[in-house]
Amino acid sequence: MSTVNFSINRSALEAARSLLSRHLHTLTKYLSDEEYRLHVLELHGDELAEEKAAIDEMWHRMRADIPPGSPEFEETFREILRQSADVVATQQRITELTATLTKLRGERESLYEMQRSLDDLSASAAETDESLDGKGLTTPRQAFTMIEEERMRIARDMHDGPAQSLANLVLQAEILERLLRKDPNLVIKELADFKDDVRHVLDDTRRLIFDLRPMTLDDLGLVPTLRKFTKEFQDNTKVMTMLRVFGEDVRLPGSYEQTLFRIIQEALNNVRKHAKAKNVDVTITFTPHEVSAVVHDDGVGFDTEHIEEHVQGRDHLGLVSMRERAGLENGDLTIESAPGQGTTVKVALQY
Q: Is the pLDDT of residue 266 over 70?
A: yes
Q: Domain 221-350 classified CATH 3.30.565.10? A: yes
Contact 264/349 with Cβ under 8 angstroms? no
Q: How many residues does the chain have?
A: 351
Would you list the domain boundaries of the chain?
Answer: 10-129, 135-212, 221-350
Higher pLDDT, 322 or 144: 322
Residue 257: how many other CB atoms lie within 10 Å: 21
Q: Does the pLDDT of residue 345 top 90, yes or no? A: yes
Distances (CA, A) of 178 to 173, 174, 181, 195: 9, 6, 5, 17
Average pLDDT, the chain: 78
Q: How far is CA 134 from CA 123, 139, 143, 304, 327, in A?
A: 20, 11, 16, 19, 12
Nearest to residue 264, comparing CAs of 285, 238, 288?
Answer: 285
Q: Convert the pLDDT of each residue in 210-246 to its tens digit.
A: 777 788 888 899 999 999 999 999 998 999 999 999 9
Neighbour tally for 17: CB within 10 Å? 17
CA distances from 26 to 19, 125, 156 (A): 11, 28, 14
The closest alpha carbon to 325, from 199, 143, 164, 81, belongs to 143
Question: CATH code for 135-212?
Answer: 1.20.5
- CA-to-CA dists, residue 271 to 79, 161, 208, 275, angstroms: 64, 22, 20, 5
CATH fold of 10-129: Four Helix Bundle (Hemerythrin (Met), subunit A) (1.20.120)
pTM above 0.75, yes or no: no
